[in-house]
Amino acid sequence: MSDIPKSHPRYKSLMTRQRLAEHAVTGVVSMEGLTSHGRGEAFDYLIGEKTPAVALEAEKLAARVLLAARHPVLSINGNTAALAAPQIAELQQASGAEVEVNLFHRTEERITLVTNVLRDAGVVVSEGPVERCVPLPHDRGLCRPEGIGNADVVLVPLEDGDRCEALVGMGKIVITVDLNPLDRTSKMATIPIIDEVTRALPNIAAECRRLRAAGDTLVMPESFDGKYFLAGAIDAIAETLHHALD
């Protein structure tokens, strides 16, 4: 399958797709995860394949919130691990957050596979018995009671809208990373980051390091305006469309 010519105008995008496809063969990424990635590709194209200024604002706010949290957790699924394991390790180190694996298409085998991908990149993964802490049908509600169950702040990159909504309903501050500003995930999030995950996580990590070096006392904001970040992303897309046929 590695016969994509370097001359192809979408070479980088096709190679990332191929890497995810290889992770799908081993089971790290679910088949449905490949399709979800495609949705992300489309929206990344529309926001210009770079971090919009408004997304960087959201990333800086996310860093502040992770550092001000009592118990921050990074909830990682197959796609995020396949795309961004080194960036997760970097963010964990910069923020001190716990990392828990949480899969939409959950099997014990896939949990182990994703955990191994993360550990190979230097991530410290918390493990232990899970319970249905999140009020959702099926295995979607499973998580560690002392992990995501007990978190006040959860960063959930590439998360399902249902789960995002349920976590918000539990009173948690939910930070999402998702390229689609119209997705329920982004609409439900406390802080929706509309950016590509390998760009977003290092930006959050860099701001964590900057804030820590500055040594200020960080206070958790009392309210958040998620819609501001959505509107900014939609403006970025409208700008791309405006010049699409130039």
Query: Where on the chain is the footprint of a second copy (CB under 8 A)?
Result: 1, 3, 5, 7-10, 14, 17-18, 20-21, 24-25, 30-32, 34-43, 45-46, 105, 137-139, 161-162, 180-182, 184, 227, 230-231, 234, 237-238, 240-241, 244-245
Task: Tell me how far, at minimum, the Cβ of 201 lies from a second copy, in Å.
Answer: 21
Task: Tell me how far, at minimum, the Cβ of 222 lies from a second copy, in Å.
Answer: 23
Owner of token pair 């493990």:
127
Is position 39 annotated in a ligand binding site?
yes
| Of residues 185 and 203, the one with the C-beta less far from a second copy | 185
| Of residues 45 and 218, the one with the C-beta less far from a second copy | 45
Task: Tell me how far, at minimum, the Cβ of 105 lies from a second copy, in Å.
Answer: 7
Task: Tell me how far, at minimum, the Cβ of 107 lies from a second copy, in Å.
Answer: 10
Task: Tell me how far, at minimum, the Cβ of 9 lies from a second copy, in Å.
Answer: 7
Is position 176 annotated in a ligand binding site?
no
| Of residues 9 and 215, the one with the C-beta less far from a second copy | 9
| Of residues 181 and 202, the one with the C-beta less far from a second copy | 181
Annotated binding site for ATP: 17, 39, 178-180, 184-185
